[in-house]
């Protein structure tokens, strides 16, 4: 009798993103992959490979409940791996970030993960499965103009640690991927336009686009291979740092003084230029 395939559900699987690469990688390793996106019609490339695709808005508890019931019917009530990959970025000065962006980022990066874990916990507990939350080095670093993204990933970091302790009695492993840069389409549309009168208008072009920087980041396919290697271990790591600059972030946050983080970032993304412009203004009026 053939053994039952391991099953994995991955959120945020649209083409051009990490989730899409993960779906392909786990499928290539023989797992039964459930790839999800807000609209499953966007996942035709995965469906053509024989991957099962489903529509899922991770911010909707009703949709999560419906999909969990669907998966339970397909698998006999179990899910071996849940990868919470879907998320949203936000690039804007804290003084200018909109209410809509704040709510959108926390809904996508924090509250959706809580809802997904709650909705799929019966299946994961039945399988003594694994939860993988895709976090970010931003959770530990004061990156200028990324305050809401940093804050949401910091919240996810703490939620993941607490969840790990709470699910340990039930045999569910919980891993946080502390991700550095990945070359995907994720960063293409995350910058909020600055309002007229913004104190940061003079340097808007310095932080709104990261295209040149992204070109040097690790590609999603390579990232997916390494992530799958770790997740499929019999005992996966509790935290795993990977992606461009992740080792630098690990070293800085592990061994360097807190003051280093402020001094290292205070001149990034045009802030050095803005500091100079403000000094020139003060000198001109003195």
**Catalytic residues, which ones?**
149, 153
Q: What are phi and psi of 95, to 5 degrees?
A: -65, -20
Q: What are phi and psi of 256, to 5 degrees?
A: -95, 155
Contact 130, 236 (CB under 8 A): yes
Q: Comparing C-alpha atoms, which of 87, 83, 211 is closest to residue 138?
A: 87
Query: Can you tell me the distance from the alpha carbon of 132 to that of 173, in angstroms, rounded to the nearest whole number?
Result: 8
Which CA distances in Å does 206 have to 54, 191, 270, 272? Answer: 39, 12, 5, 11
Tokens of 37: 């996106």
Q: What are phi and psi of 56, to 5 degrees?
A: -155, 115
Query: Can you tell me the distance from the alpha carbon of 283 to that of 158, in angstroms, rounded to the nearest whole number?
Result: 45
Query: Can you tell me the distance from the alpha carbon of 278 to that of 159, in angstroms, rounded to the nearest whole number?
Result: 40
Element containing residue 36 per DSSP (H, E): strand 32-37
Per the listing, tokens 């592990």 go with 254
Contact 39, 59 (CB under 8 A): no
* 3 state SS of 197: coil
- Our CA dihedral for 70, 74, 79, 80, rounded to 10 degrees, sits at -150
Tokens of 91: 């690039």
């Amino acid at each position: 009798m053939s053994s039952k395939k391991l099953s994995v559900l991955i959120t945020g699987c649209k083409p051009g993103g990490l989730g899409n690469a993960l779906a392909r990688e786990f499928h290539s390793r023989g797992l039964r992959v459930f790839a999800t996106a807000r609209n499953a019609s966007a996942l035709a490339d995965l469906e053509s490979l024989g991957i099962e695709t489903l529509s899922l808005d991770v911010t909707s508890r009703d949709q999560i409940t419906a999909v969990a019931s669907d998966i339970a019917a397909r698998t006999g009530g179990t899910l071996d791996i849940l990868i919470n990959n879907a998320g949203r970025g936000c690039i804007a000065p804290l003084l200018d970030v909109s209410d809509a962006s704040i709510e959108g980022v926390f809904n996508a990066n924090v509250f959706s993960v809580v809802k997904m874990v709650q909705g799929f916990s019966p299946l994961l507990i039945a399988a003594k499965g694994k939860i993988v939350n895709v976090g970010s080095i931003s959770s530990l670093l004061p990156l200028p103009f990324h305050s809401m993204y940093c804050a949401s990933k910091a919240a996810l970091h703490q939620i993941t640690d607490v969840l790990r302790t709470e699910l340990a009695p039930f045999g569910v492993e919980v891993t946080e991927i502390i991700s550095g840069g990945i070359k995907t389409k994720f960063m293409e549309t995350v910058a909020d336009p600055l309002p007229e009168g913004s104190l940061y208008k003079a340097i808007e072009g310095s932080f709104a686009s990261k295209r040149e920087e992204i070109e040097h980041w690790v590609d999603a396919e390579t990232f997916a291979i390494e992530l799958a290697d770790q997740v499929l271990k019999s005992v996966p790591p509790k935290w795993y740092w990977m992606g461009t600059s992740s080792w630098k972030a690990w070293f800085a946050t592990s061994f360097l003084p807190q003051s280093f983080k402020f001094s290292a970032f205070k001149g990034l993304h045009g802030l050095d230029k803005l500091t100079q412009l403000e000094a020139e203004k003060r000198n001109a009026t003195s």
